[in-house]
Structure 1
């Protein structure tokens, strides 16, 4: 792994011009417009000869990379940018970026926390209601003419007054808990560490949380620390009357085990906004009525995306001006 050699080629206090800024992958249109029109940033092509040519010619001069949470600066790309100083991430999640390498090289990384908390929590609540009450399946039932033909839609599960286990009681997890309390739900949680000020019941593991609750709500941060946290054993512990809701990252759950559990009705159902290999969704899920599928729309509102764009650009401009970040990840 190359070390950060920026000190050899320029001072970190020297101005950063557009040709030293690289856009990695698609980003929010407002961010893309600012990068192109205001800063003249370079755009990394898709894998192939054009990308290789750009990295060969300009890789050593890139000092700032701007990316999304879905397509970050991975290990290979980071190694090709020996003078990289900062990674500006559009999104609260940054697991697509090699943070370990960035930290080892002194590359600072920002994200866009807080501004998407409320909308993601709203999505979680929508998934919760739709999944337990089978609202999507009920709509398809009506549209297919089954109700008009005299059929009765199967009974669903009550959403109020349930025991909900929140896996990851961070900003988003707490916002979800606030909403569920209005439904009279009993809140339990598991975190990497217990929160002394929390009034909710703490459980020492994801398995213990699943065993104690009716619904497992996954709100854990993505990345290597949470990868596979909800494994086959945890899914089995949810049980045939329990549900899983995931608005975190697809990597947090053992997706093949979840697919099998849903197909076999080993759990009652699931609501999923995230998947392991987005935008690909396991084909087996598409025809199951006990799962609600969303195309990763947790923060997908006009208002939240505008706030995220403003914060991402604020981080970028702050770094260009005085080498500080408004919201560094640590």
Structure 2
């Protein structure tokens, strides 16, 4: 690594890698410190790989926006690349194996989104149980006057809540649920002695002893379709699933069938397997709350992420340690 500028602007070059649909709210902040190369704005009509190839010789830092894929093919176009700065908590969209082979460091958003996602997870759970969104539609459509009181929902207090993944987000979800007197347990790769909650080494066993599963873990080969037919079966027809992790954590086809057939009590889903495509069978279900992958989207979380991104880029160009460093596969 080097602290020397890489472009004629006197500032180091930083490549922004994003799908056109993903905005970067703190792009102006990056431009205050770096020479930002962004194919979506600098060369909107040119293929991304052509844009990358023209700058391949000296581009050593890449900011990956949201879940924009960083594939082995992308990395091959950038032989000088030495760091990928991720702006999401998950890194399943980045080829970590190829990054490790090439000696490319990878970071993620760390805890920048944790509080907002934890808030959202609890909000989804409350909405599913108390049916707030559907009650709102019931009132707006004039059905309160026509049909009388809306059907009862269910209380949150005292529910057995199983948290899958007790990292930054999962721990904050647990902390927020404690005042509701929920009986909290968790599943993670290893037991966390500092956390005063029961640990289950098996998600199946956690589900069998829970009324609610809240998914906060990363998507990996091991966690893909972690919530499958067997897990949903033991969770039961009153069980609720909340997903603020990644869509691929759940076997979505099975989930749809369980919900449509009344074999689950409900679901709150902020993420899906094939975004932005969402199974249409879910649209008419009053016990399902759907959200367009927006748990992380607040001005405060993006401000924190912008500061972390700039800090990590400055550290990289100054040969200093990176924050939120991810280990490759």
Q: Does TM, normalized by the shorter one, top 0.5? A: yes
Q: How big is the shift at 1:16?
A: 4.6
Counterpart for residue 4 of structure 2 = 15
Query: Cα 1:51–1:197, aligned 2, differ >3 Å: closer, same or farther?
Result: closer
Query: Cα 1:14–1:150, aligned 2, differ >3 Å: closer, same or farther?
Result: closer
Greater Cα shift, 66-75 or 82-91: 66-75
Question: In the alignment, does 2:136 pair up with 1:139?
Answer: yes
Q: 2:36 aligns with which of 38, 41, 44?
A: 41
Q: 1:240 aligns with which of 231, 237, 240?
A: 237
Counterpart for residue 77 of structure 2 = 80
Query: Cα 1:262–1:47, aligned 2, differ >3 Å: closer, same or farther?
Result: farther
* Ranges in structure 2 where 5+ consecutive residues have no aligned partner: none
Question: In the alignment, does 2:25 pair up with 1:29?
Answer: yes
**Counterpart of 1:256 in 2: which secondary structure?**
helix
Structure with larger RCO (C-alpha < 8 A, sep 6+): 2
Cα deviation, 1:110-140, whole Å, max 9, x if unaligned, reads: 1221222111111111011001111111111
Q: Provide the C-alpha distance between the structure 2 equivalents of 1:301 and 1:52, rounded to a whole number of angstroms.
A: 31
Q: Provide the C-alpha distance between the structure 1 equivalents of 2:152 and 2:82, rounded to a whole number of angstroms.
A: 56
Q: Provide the C-alpha distance between the structure 1 equivalents of 2:146 and 2:76, rounded to a whole number of angstroms.
A: 62
Pairwise CA RMSD? 2.0
Counterpart for residue 296 of structure 1 = 293
Cα deviation, 1:14-53, whole Å, max 9, x if unaligned, reads: 62525843110145221x2244454222223599853232
Question: In the alignment, does 2:224 pair up with 1:227?
Answer: yes
TM-score by length of 2: 0.90
Q: Provide the C-alpha distance between the structure 2 equivalents of 1:199 and 1:57, rounded to a whole number of angstroms.
A: 54
Aligned residues: 318
Q: 2:317 aligns with which of 312, 315, 320?
A: 320
**Counterpart of 2:75 in 1: which secondary structure?**
helix
Q: Provide the C-alpha distance between the structure 2 equivalents of 1:50 and 1:197, rounded to a whole number of angstroms.
A: 50
Q: 1:260 aligns with which of 250, 257, 264?
A: 257
Partners of 2:158 and 2:180 within 8 A in 1: yes
Partners of 1:17 and 1:39 within 8 A in 2: no
Question: In the alignment, does 2:270 pair up with 1:273?
Answer: yes
Partners of 2:92 and 2:219 within 8 A in 1: yes
